[in-house]
Homo-oligomer: A and B are copies of this chain.
């Protein structure tokens, strides 16, 4: 589970409130580990409970900003976690399930949905490329910058990977080739069989 450690990392950079963190997540590591503000507030409360962070001693009523800073134990826990041995999480890609299902009971209108998503991923890719041009112009970066740049490049590659997959899927879906002998013959007739 990475969320608490993603928060600790963000707090290493500077003390922040829940809404600060939510906003920064949207811009940076959030592309690799999304979190809603509810998750963030809950996790911050837990981290404080565990003594890894501390809320700055300003007024702490509901509705007012409440900044947290990381404590030495939090830093230590973060370093411990980074190198932990864990099995990589399994990929969960619903597009693959859809393609698999389409192979079994298609054809469907899956191509429309893929085109829609293709647009989303293309936009995300463009955003990343802008970040790249803006923040990582030269080469020979210091270690920490090189790591952050690598994370961004992985984002770029992941979007490219997705775009290629979707493009090839569309080629197959639109080729209007036959399935095996019969099987889906009736479906090709385009009868509006109700919904």
Question: What is A's interface to B at a CB cutoff of 8 Å?
Answer: 2, 5-6, 8-9, 12-13, 28-29, 31-34, 72-73, 75-76, 78-110, 112-113, 116-117, 120-121, 142-148, 150-151, 153-155, 157-158, 161-162, 164-165, 168-169, 172, 175, 177-180, 187, 193, 195
Min CB–CB distance A85 → chain B (angstroms): 6
Q: Give the chain B neighbours of A31 by CB distance below 8 A.
A: 90-91
B88 and A120 form a contact (CB under 8 A): yes
17 interchain pairs, CB-CB under 8 A: A9-B105, A12-B105, A31-B91, A32-B92, A33-B90, A34-B92, A75-B105, A79-B187, A83-B113, A88-B121, A91-B158, A99-B147, A99-B150, A106-B144, A107-B143, A143-B172, A157-B164
Q: How far is the CA of A143 from the CA of B91 in the complex (A)?
A: 25
Q: How far is the CA of A85 from the CA of B109 in the complex (A)?
A: 10
A144 and B179 form a contact (CB under 8 A): yes
A82 and B108 form a contact (CB under 8 A): yes
**Given A93-B33, A172-B150, A187:B75 Cβ within 8 A:** yes
B180 and A144 form a contact (CB under 8 A): yes
Min CB–CB distance A184 → chain B (angstroms): 8
Q: Give the chain B neighbours of A154 by CB distance below 8 A.
A: 93, 96, 161, 165
Return the 8 tightest CB-CB contacts between A and B, nearest first.
A32-B96, A103-B147, A83-B109, A34-B90, A103-B144, A9-B101, A2-B97, A143-B177
Min CB–CB distance A88 → chain B (angstroms): 5
Q: How far is the CA of A143 from the CA of B184 in the complex (A)?
A: 11
Contact of A89 among B94, B110, B143, B145 (CB under 8 A): B94
Q: How far is the CA of A100 from the CA of B178 in the complex (A)?
A: 48
B142 and A169 form a contact (CB under 8 A): no
Q: How far is the CA of A136 from the CA of B67 in the complex (A)?
A: 57
B83 and A112 form a contact (CB under 8 A): yes
